[in-house]
Amino acid sequence: MTLEEAKRYLLRRAKALGLEAEVLFQEERELSLRAREGALEEIKEARQGGVGLRVLAEGRVGYAYTEELSEAALEWALAEARENALLSGKEGSLPEGRPLGGHDLLGEGLSAPLEAKKEAALALERTLREDPRTRTVLMGGYQEREVRVALASTRGAEGAFRTGLAGMGGSFVMGDGASLKQGWDFRLAKEFHALDPGRTALELREKTARLLNAKPLKTGRYRAYLEPKAMANLLAVFAQALSGKNALEGKSRLLGRIGERVASDLVTLVDDPTLERGLLSRPFDAEGTPARRTVVIEKGVFQTFLHNAETARALGQENTGHAHRRYRGTLDVAPSNLYLEPAGNLALREGVLITEFMGLHAGANPVSLDFSLQALGLWVEEGEARYAVENFAVAGNLLELLQAIEGLGDQLEWEVLGAAFGSPLVAVAELSFAGA
């Protein structure tokens, strides 16, 4: 069956079984070109898709999905979703749906010929190798992903959109004597032509080379300057505390704190799925709620959790349209383009410039918001970076860190970590560093 046929089949069969149902289709096309030593070492070109089901049976919700679109597989998914709903102990509902239209957020973005993409991958890898300090390139290349999402429900939701991303980057090792550093970066854009392989490679070389010949850092408390990508990683952890679902499940330290000051008054945190050219912009969420801009923290004051229809109802708050679901998963809450607004009041003085955090999935606890993370960086003195430092960890709590922000740069940079997270350079009054 085609996805269109499968959709009609599922909605018809759900009605016949007396079920309310929502069907979410996702179809992805992926192209990845990996270059090494002047040749393409891996070309990957693929398609994947499936249908995720959410059904309501006797007032309760159950889920299932399938990538096989045979009648037998669709029937299996319906039966599993119904059984899962009937076993559930939790009241649920499907939101009232509406026509949502068809949207193209990609346009001509990825339409360049394959040869141009191959050349870009090779150029990036070549430029990485050109530096005499480059010891080896693990990979350098190009990747694109195009996604088509369609939503339909027995309650009248009906809509679709197409979006996608192109990216270039690589991973490589630089050395100077016995000092070795592995650098990695990936730049994303909505269009192939917005990518610049030569410049990306040069910046990656420069970013990695400055970390060579690092000295140990003495254990102590220092002012910290977080580069945008490092801060974006912390925002990705903090976003879990903003989830209405986590709040509902007692897993957010922000529960009960709406209207309170939770961060420095320099901090304004916004999620905007409507950003033009936003990396993860979308016209509507996974339940069909139209997208709109949400101010989460305004001048340090916590304004709202991010909600889907279910979490908003359960907490008695307004639905912000942040339902998130991939067809293989269940309904969740997630930001789209979440960013810390730049302020432009930051000047380097003395402290540690953190260029990168490592081990976030292990060293940062999204419930307690405590973190203790390995980091790489540079020692800053008299307003400039003097030398690299290594073999140290930074510890603290994300809420304390947000309260200690005393300066923000003027340029947003973005990192996609599930959602897109944006940040300028950030100055934090004091953090705890463990080293030599």
Within positions 236 to 295, which residues make up the interface with another protein, using CB under 8 A? 249-251, 253
Nearer to another protein, 88 or 274 (CB): 88
**Residue 403 contacts another protein per CB under 8 A:** no
End-to-end CA distance of the chain: 62
Residues 6+ apart with CB under 8 A from 396: 370, 371, 431, 432
d(CA 111, CA 73) in angstroms, rounded, equals 34
**Closer residue to another protein (CB): 190 or 229:** 229
CB 218 within 8 A of CB 435: yes
Nearest to 139 by CA among 121, 159, 151, 157: 121
Q: Does 93 bind another protein (CB under 8 A)?
A: no
Q: Where are the alpha helices (DSSP H) in 1-60?
A: 3-16
What is the number of other CB atoms lying within 10 angstroms of the CB of residue 127?
20
Q: Decide if residue 177 touches another protein (CB under 8 A).
A: no
Q: What residues from 304 to 363 belong to the interface with another protein (CB under 8 A)?
A: 328-330, 358-359, 361-363
User: What is the smallest separation between the CB atom of 424 and another protein, expressed in angstroms?
Assistant: 26
Q: Which stretch binds another protein (CB under 8 A): 5-13, 131-139, 288-296, 411-419?
A: 131-139
The answer to whether 425 and 354 are in contact (CB under 8 A) is: no
Do residues 427 and 225 make contact, with C-beta atoms less than 8 angstroms apart?
yes
As given in the structure block, the two tokens for residue 39 are 């040749």
Give the shortest CB-345-to-another protein separation in angstroms.
27
Task: For another protein, give the closer residue by CB, 145 or 299.
Answer: 145
Residue among 190 and 325 whose Cβ is closer to another protein? 325
Q: Which residues from 369-398 bind another protein, rule CB under 8 A?
A: 370-374, 390-396
Residue 59 contacts another protein per CB under 8 A: no
Contacts for 342 with CB less than 8 Å, ≥ 6 apart: 408, 409, 410, 411, 412, 424
Facing residues of 261 across strands?
Answer: 301
- Judged by beta carbon, residue 339 or residue 371, the one nearer another protein is 371
> Which residue's CB is nearer to another protein, number 75 or number 158?
75
Binder among 1, 9, 83, 98 for another protein (CB under 8 A) = 83
Q: Which is nearer to another protein, 368 or 411 (CB)?
A: 368
CB of 139 to another protein, least distance (A): 8
> Which span sits near another protein by CB under 8 A: 32-40, 337-345, 378-386, 409-417?
32-40
Alpha helices in 102-170, H assignment, sequence order = 114-129
Q: Which stretch binds another protein (CB under 8 A): 82-90, 125-133, 337-345, 407-415?
A: 82-90
Between residue 180 and residue 239, which ones bind another protein under the rule CB under 8 A? 180-182, 219-221
14, 19, 22, 66: which one binds another protein (CB under 8 A): 66
Q: Kindly tell me which of 156 and 329 has the beta carbon lying closer to another protein.
A: 329
How many residues form the binding site for another protein (CB under 8 A)? 79
Q: Which of 16, 18, 38, 39 binds another protein (CB under 8 A)?
A: 39
Q: Which two tokens stand for residue 74?
A: 């669709």
Phi, psi of 345 (to 5 degrees): -115, 20
435 binds another protein (CB under 8 A): yes
Q: How far apart are CA 58 and CA 75, in angstroms?
A: 19
246: enclosing H helix or E strand: helix 244-248
Q: Per DSSP, what are the bridge partners of residue 370?
A: 397
